[in-house]
Amino acid sequence: MELACALARRLLNWPRIGNRFIAMQKPRLGFWQIWNMSFGFLGIQFGWGLQMSNMSPIYKYLGAKDEDIPLLWLAAPLTGFIVQPIIGAMSDRTWGPLGRRRPYFLVGAILSSLALLAMPNCSALWMAAGLLWILDASINVSMEPFRAFVADKLPEEQRGTGFAMQSFFIGVGAVVAGMLPWILKNWFNVSSDTSDANAIPPNVKISFYLGAVAFFGAVLYTILTSKEYPPEDLEAFRRKKSESAGFGHFFREIFSALAEMPGTMRRLALVQFFTWLGLFCMWLHFSNAVPVVFGSNDPKSDVFKRGAEWAGVCYSIKDAVTFIAAFALMALSRTFDRRRIHGVCLALGGLGLLAVGFIHGEEQKNLLLIALAFGGVAWASILSMPYAILAGALPPERMGVYMGIFNFFIVLPEILAALTFGPLVKNLLGGNLVHAVMAGGVCMLIAAALAQWVKLPEKQVA
């Protein structure tokens, strides 16, 4: 009996009596274990990175006007708003051969890869917009459980490292994804020209095909190399699951969790709101603002194409800085107040977006790299610090649903931006997309100030 118990503890890192797994301090994981459980984010970021750096130009290639682009991006926030809390609640109550979160990793990866293969073959604007809805919903199915996965597997003192490791892989994936069209054109001589003025260039098409392979492969690696801890009481878990089956229960769980939201999460929500309002300004308009800096807003001109490709390079530099900064954040989060770290990083990102308005002409294009490099520091923190703060304030049995609800405060500002930014850019900012990017910098500076107002859970206070 003693030998069997010892073997169970060794295999599962969790003491067991009968069908009951007794709650205990989670064991510390080694570097490569954290690496393996985070590796899937490399693939997920291929999906996001290709989308963020290419969808606005794709819409313009297919005939969209500048004021229409925010509405065409509405898919991203709305699918996140709907999908993430539902997937979070479902994964909290899932247990099977693949565990709790990994079934969702797999389903999302398959659907996302298929959408990435289809996206560059769109021949009409409505097709691209529809596929973006499918792609975003699928990415969210994979991504949301990854946040809860860190909180499930790591003790409090390692969660900052876990989320920073996710930031590292997000940075690596986004660097490659953002630069793929430029790399294919300049290193492999894949053309960016098309016979049809409204067609998607070949280098962009091949980038999406490669992204589909990377997405599925990276997520599958995490599924195969990482295990999950079973529920503390498996029999009670199964009884509770059978008593609360159906989507009606999931919606009741979401509304109940909203009503009982911890105070730390309420304050972080306001920080997230302004942070993502600023990010959405960047994502919506930066790829089309760079051609304006270069001197053209005509999607058929060579200057516009050079500007759109350079915007992808800028995004890649941002994300290269992200994965470098992620290592610094891993170390800093063990010693310093996470609110202060997050506030400084957000302020740097805001200043970088404001700087875009002071850069003029293609000859100054390298200054755009520096501006977005500051954004990379902010992005590394955005992807790790709020979640590291939040994980310590949430009840473990509701980790998935709360991580999904936290996404509300990402998608609500995105929905607001999608519905209002078109008229605001056209009427208030004179149609100048550079000014729209600068407005994002102001929002991020506001978020930096609000981050200092967040109350940390007691066990996170130094």
What is the full DSSP assignment across 199-234?
SPPHHHHHHHHHHHHHHHHHHHHHHHH---PPPSBH
Residue labelled with tokens 């073959």? 121
List of domains in the chain: 29-226+253-460 (1.20.1250.20)
Predicted confidence (pLDDT) per residue in 63-100, tens digit: 888 777 777 877 667 777 777 777 777 777 777 788 78
Of 372, 55, 86, 435, nearest to 208 by C-alpha is: 55
Predicted confidence (pLDDT) per residue in 213-226, tens digit: 999 999 999 999 98
Q: Does 1 score more than 90 pLDDT? A: no
What pLDDT sits at residue 231?
65
Q: What is the DSSP pairing of strand 16-17 with strand 20-21?
A: antiparallel
Report the C-alpha gap between 412 and 309 in whole angstroms. 30
Predicted confidence (pLDDT) per residue in 100-127, tens digit: 888 898 999 999 999 999 988 888 888 8
- What would the mean pLDDT of 145-166 be, rounded to a whole number? 81
Report the C-alpha gap between 291 and 62 in whole angstroms. 17
pLDDT band at 366 (very low <50, low <70, confident <90, very high): very high
What pLDDT sits at residue 352?
95
- What would the mean pLDDT of 179-187 be, rounded to a whole number? 86
Residue type, 202: P
What pLDDT sits at residue 241?
53
Percent of the chain with pLDDT over 70: 86
Would you say 23 and 148 are in contact if contact means Cβ atoms under 8 Å apart?
Answer: no
More confident residue, 44 or 395: 44
Sign of the torsion formed by the C-alpha atoms of 71, 72, 73 and 75: positive
pLDDT band at 249 (very low <50, low <70, confident <90, very high): low
Q: What is the DSSP letter of 97?
A: T
- What would the mean pLDDT of 244-268 be, rounded to a whole number? 72
Of 100, 98, 340, 65, nearest to 220 by C-alpha is: 98
Report the C-alpha gap between 359 and 366 in whole angstroms. 10
User: How high does pLDDT run on average in the chain?
Assistant: 80
Of 188, 231, 190, nearest to 100 by C-alpha is: 231
Report the C-alpha gap between 381 and 147 in whole angstroms. 14
Predicted confidence (pLDDT) per residue in 14-63, tens digit: 333 333 333 446 788 888 999 999 999 899 988 888 887 788 788 887 88
